[in-house]
Structure 1
């Protein structure tokens, strides 16, 4: 499934950056003009980045770029490296315009690896600015000869780095990091740092089915966090092939008393897609009543129950049911791909909002907050969803939604649109 980028406005700064979200509505709007596009036109869909600390004075930045061409034609390596340029600026933080460092990164064989027909990885080094141990790197990828550009922001650190800021999961060859919080069962990966050092780490596996996100209107205090029971423990060596044989949440640390480590969700081979009827029932909870969920979970044949649920919603219109099912589970898949943290993406607060509301029109970001802004919908002019970053031992990008009862007049009509087949994705 293709994805479309949207502008990311940095809070308090006016700097522009971009992040990747799926947005089929925008993709469909562009389809009408595809016939007029040159077959050689290459468009950047999104950027995802991560840094790994090399030492106290240098970090390595990995920047994955997703591209597309009309009619899903593959993008050749030279098309990317010869059509685009990459520049970066380092600022002290999200709210400052003071330039600490800047540079131009040549897109060549040393810095660019092609991952697939439409996906490329750029790797480059950034030196620590004088008198600063951290900063925000704003990367700008521009199309040569045009005004088109895509931006991406990344908070970087040079000192006091955590394990997850020094080590990352790489694909089986160890050339490029995965830049995601999940791997599939029996895939071969490597946990390594930039220096490919060999270190023994402790691994704890948790076999736990985490709860899905609560309603945006549920302002009741969350229950105290429960202690997770460790299912199995073992040791691994970094920079060596690693295969996970069982599904679950895995947590890797240098010491069993460490507060922060590297967390990874090991999923079935189909993930981020969901294909089993027993799995498909669960995300529907975001648009269903309690009695409907209970009815789907009770029967021995969840597939028939799920089919009956969708047909009943669409008043027996099977074509409308098929279109709505396709749109709904496309968003579920995209939520899994984009937002999986220590649990599947569809279960997270961001995943819930994305599934029901779709891609935000813009995002305002600061160090510990994201605000998703939706504008010009049928039942409202503008609405904001605020996600606050919370400490989490497993992952760095755990965000929780700030809930309000005032979301009701916005949320319920969107849910009803799903239940009547009015959503077009």
Structure 2
């Protein structure tokens, strides 16, 4: 995957790269989780995707599994500098005093698709908050990738003492799996796990300026699917999501959502109709839903909206590329495009700034006609299924820029 960049003289790039990497890590001494811009995590042109998966051995001991997906092809380990840390809060300095370098000798696995590190950490008894942090620096142009996850905090109920793995022994580093595709679960204790199935189907979220409460199902169906053994392949054949537990008296578990074989891309015209809800009027969307021939209705919809066939093809390509990335980045028990973050990402594009707080995530977009920016704030909500559940703080003040972005889509003027 290539990276889009402004044209800069090669000599300047060489000098900057040499300058950046001849400096010690202490250059980042004042950086904290609150101050670093993590927009690269959501970029369409990222070359790596970092993840930390904590396996909890006891209240204070964790095995940090750190799979790093190789998005760029033919990647060499030496292209990046890797380091990790365990922080006691969002205001801890990220510097050489707490960053632990990861070398090639630390690799637990190196496959066609992943680098994989694993480290065991012990959290002091008097430490109230513990956050695992992973960093990768691209030595070619200085891009810095980050990932973090709470080990101990008010927003997590605990982590499972088991995990799922691909057939190459790399930890399962996403929340979704193709229906009937097998994963292998490995644990630190016990011989079997329990599976609970939730067949729930979710609607697309309300737009950012809609402040009335969203419809919430009064009841959620859950079916106990029984026990299955560790260390044997396990597949999931029903639509919805599964919650896997070692101890049914605990809140700790692992979320697995089943998806169709085309996911994260769109499956068919029926699904396309649902996905265009964000840039359609209510009347347009109702007409698409009621149409008997969805393909014909969609063709007429795009041409009628954009007025030009080539421009329509461009909009379709870009819009469903956004859907694909939203599904990759934000799927939990909902498809990524149906989450609040996925909705904003689809319509507004990748954010220019992403800042994390203990209780939320803040996205900013630079507006084209001034130095101002529009900000979307996502509140973090404690959830048994995932430690990364966020809900948008809706406001009528978001309406002007939201409608402006929708107009750009409908006029084939959206550019990322």
Superposition deviation, residue 140 in structure 1? 3.0
Q: Which residue of 2 aligns with 1:184?
A: 178
| 1:388/1:400 contact within 8 Å kept | yes
Q: Which residue of 2 aligns with 1:311?
A: 303
Superposition deviation, residue 226 in structure 1? 2.1
Alpha-carbon distance change, 273 to 147 in structure 1, aligned in 2, over 3 angstroms = closer
Superposition deviation, residue 178 in structure 1? 1.7
Q: Which residue of 1 aligns with 2:108?
A: 111
Q: Which residue of 1 aligns with 2:120?
A: 125
| 2:35/2:355 contact within 8 Å kept | no
CA distance in 2, matches of 1:409, 1:296: 26
Does 2:400 align with 1:409? yes
Q: Which residue of 2 aligns with 1:150?
A: 145
Alpha-carbon distance change, 408 to 17 in structure 1, aligned in 2, over 3 angstroms = closer
Superposition deviation, residue 265 in structure 1? 1.0
Superposition deviation, residue 348 in structure 1? 0.3
SS at match of 1:104: strand
Superposition deviation, residue 171 in structure 1? 1.4
Q: Which residue of 2 aligns with 1:343?
A: 334
Q: Which residue of 1 aligns with 2:27?
A: none
Superposition deviation, residue 231 in structure 1? 4.8
CA distance in 1, matches of 2:314, 2:140: 40
Q: Which residue of 2 aligns with 1:47?
A: 50
| 2:206/2:214 contact within 8 Å kept | no
SS at match of 2:51: strand
TM-score norm. by structure 2 comes to 0.83
Query: Whose strand proportion is higher, 1 or 2?
Result: 1
Superposition deviation, residue 396 in structure 1? 1.9
Does 2:97 align with 1:84? no
- Listed as ranges, the matches of 1:5-404 within 5 Å are 13-15=34-36, 20-23=41-44, 44-67=47-70, 74-76=73-75, 79-80=76-77, 82-97=78-93, 101-108=98-105, 110-116=107-113, 119-129=114-124, 131-132=126-127, 134-143=129-138, 149-157=144-152, 164-173=159-168, 175-193=169-187, 195=188, 197-231=189-223, 233-256=225-248, 258-259=250-251, 261-315=253-307, 317-378=308-369, 381-404=372-395
CA distance in 1, matches of 2:155, 2:140: 42
CA distance in 1, matches of 2:234, 2:115: 24
Alpha-carbon distance change, 135 to 15 in structure 1, aligned in 2, over 3 angstroms = farther
SS at match of 1:126: strand
Q: Which residue of 1 aligns with 2:23?
A: none
Alpha-carbon distance change, 113 to 57 in structure 1, aligned in 2, over 3 angstroms = farther
| 2:193/2:227 contact within 8 Å kept | yes
Alpha-carbon distance change, 205 to 18 in structure 1, aligned in 2, over 3 angstroms = same
CA distance in 1, matches of 2:71, 2:339: 28
Q: Which residue of 2 aligns with 1:34?
A: none
Superposition deviation, residue 86 in structure 1? 2.1
CA distance in 2, matches of 1:160, 1:415: 34
CA distance in 2, matches of 1:369, 1:160: 10
Q: Which runs of 5+ in 1 are unaligned?
A: 28-42
Superposition deviation, residue 397 in structure 1? 1.2
CA distance in 2, matches of 1:3, 1:270: 25
TM-score norm. by structure 1 comes to 0.81
Count the aligned residue pairs. Answer: 391
CA distance in 2, matches of 1:407, 1:158: 31
CA distance in 1, matches of 2:221, 2:71: 44
Superposition deviation, residue 21 in structure 1? 1.5
CA distance in 2, matches of 1:68, 1:414: 29
Superposition deviation, residue 148 in structure 1? 5.3
Alpha-carbon distance change, 265 to 148 in structure 1, aligned in 2, over 3 angstroms = closer
Superposition deviation, residue 405 in structure 1? 0.5
